Amino acid sequence: MPPLAQRNLFHDKVRLTVTLTGIVFSVVLIVVQLGLFIGFTTATSNLIDHSGADLWITSKNVPYVEQGVAFSERKLNQVRAVEGVADAQKIIARWTQWKRHDGGQDSVQIVGINVDDRMEQPWNLVEGRVEDLKSPDAVILDELYKQGDPSDAATQFREVLARNPEHYGATLQLAKALDRAGKPEEALPIWRRMQAMAEAIGDAETIQTVRARLADAHQ
């Protein structure tokens, strides 16, 4: 005679099927969420992880590297003069609008580097060479920007904000992604929250962008 637990499981086969389906769905969902988390963690920290730098210095009140604010050469020289510092280099990382040939625009992150400094050079190049950046107006495009799916981007930025609701860059990019996905009503409260965040740190460029977007919404 089968054990009592086994008889209880197979007594109602419909209930067993529904239960197993729910468990499998939950496991798949967990795996998907874990994949998104690992992907975001890797993407947002790649610049720092591949630099090999021991210490990063930013201007006051800068919450994230992608929202860096430029500081003077004098401060850079002060860092270089500190005993024990072998070298110090500047990296400029900002979000901006990239105008495509078809007239559309994409929100992209621009990273300005010293091409001759090995710590700042791009990695895993699929095409071209690092030396090509020395040509006038030359850029290297990340494979990520070839996908261009605003709905998928919005989902990914929501995942970032679910873990860190105050993430400056993800908030801005979520608002832009929702606009590009044709969901301006969903984007509007995100833009309002972005305005408060930008005003809190005095990010004049982002404040101007947000105000222009909010002005369009009231027309």
Q: What's the mean pLDDT when you consider all of the chain?
A: 78
pLDDT tens digits for 163-212?
778 877 778 888 888 888 888 899 999 999 999 988 888 888 888 888 98
Cα–Cα separations (whole angstroms), residue 165 to 63, 83, 93, 174: 13, 39, 21, 12
* Residue 36 and residue 62 in one domain: no
* pLDDT for 126: 61
* Residue 89 and residue 21 in one domain: no
* Residue 54 and residue 42 in one domain: no
Q: pLDDT exceeding 70 applies to what percent of the chain?
A: 79
Tokens representing 180? 């590009």
Q: Return the higher-pLDDT residue of 70 and 127.
A: 70
* 3-class DSSP state of 12: coil
* Residue 99 and residue 174 in one domain: no
* 16 vs 165: CA distance, rounded Å: 39
Last residue of a domain, one of 117, 146, 175: 146
Is a pLDDT exceeding 60 seen at residue 1? Answer: no
* Residue 114 and residue 85 in one domain: yes
Identify the band that residue 5 occupies on the pLDDT scale cut at 50, 70 and 90: low
Last residue of a domain, one of 146, 166, 181: 146
Mean pLDDT, residues 137-147: 65
* Residue 132 and residue 158 in one domain: no
* pLDDT for 189: 92
* Residue 88 and residue 101 in one domain: yes
Show the domain range for 42. Answer: 4-47
| Counted domains in the chain | 3
* Residue 161 and residue 208 in one domain: yes
In the numeric block, the tokens 């799916």 are attached to 149
CATH number of the domain to which 203 belongs: 1.25.40.10
pLDDT tens digits for 71-104?
778 888 888 888 888 888 887 777 777 776 567 7
* Residue 64 and residue 135 in one domain: yes
* Residue 97 and residue 56 in one domain: yes
* pLDDT for 157: 80
Q: Residue 53: left if φ>0, alpha if ψ -120 to 50, beta else—which one?
A: beta
Q: What is the pTM of this model?
A: 0.44
